[in-house]
């Protein structure tokens, strides 16, 4: 997994497509470990679910021309905690993305991500 900047153009063509969402499995975590688990660490027990990218929208905030937000819909097996999740698909290299659950639905949950790259930086 390489560190890379993600932009609107990485997600916009993938609206409606499914991503694999990996997360630390709290049932497999050592209770003595007080820190959050990294879902991308090798050997780490991880939960996996599918999440569909349902929205990719540019920010309407003046001066934030590169900012955008994403909305994902995941099934009933998805976790309900905010945190860093590893998202991937065959044509999208795994990337850690901070997701916040914003709504529980009858068939799962929706997660929101916000990207705020600083213009000129």
Torsion of CA 51, 91, 3, 43, to 10 degrees: 70
Question: With pLDDT > 70 as the criterion, what percentage of the chain qualifies?
Answer: 77
Domain assignment of residue 121, yes or no? no
Does some domain include residue 93?
yes
45-98 pLDDT, tens digit each? 579 999 999 999 998 888 778 899 999 999 999 999 999 999 999 999 999 999
Q: Is residue 1 in a domain?
A: no
> 91 is in which domain, residue-wise?
8-28+36-115
Q: Is residue 80 part of a domain?
A: yes
The CATH number of the domain holding residue 111 is 2.40.10
Domain count, the chain: 1
Q: What length is written for the chain?
A: 121
The reported pLDDT for the residue numbered 8 is 95
């Amino acid at each position: 997994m390489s560190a890379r900047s993600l932009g609107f153009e990485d997600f916009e063509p993938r609206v409606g497509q499914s991503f694999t969402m990996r997360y630390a499995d709290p049932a497999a975590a050592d209770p003595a470990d007080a820190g959050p688990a990294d879902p991308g660490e090798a050997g780490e027990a991880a939960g996996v679910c599918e999440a569909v990218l349902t929205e990719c929208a540019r920010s309407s905030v003046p001066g934030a021309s590169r900012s955008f937000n994403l909305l994902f819909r995941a099934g009933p097996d998805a976790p309900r905690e905010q945190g860093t999740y590893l998202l991937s698909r065959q044509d999208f290299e795994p990337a850690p993305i901070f997701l916040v659950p914003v709504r529980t639905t009858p068939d799962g949950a929706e997660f929101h991500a916000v990207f705020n790259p600083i213009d000129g930086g």
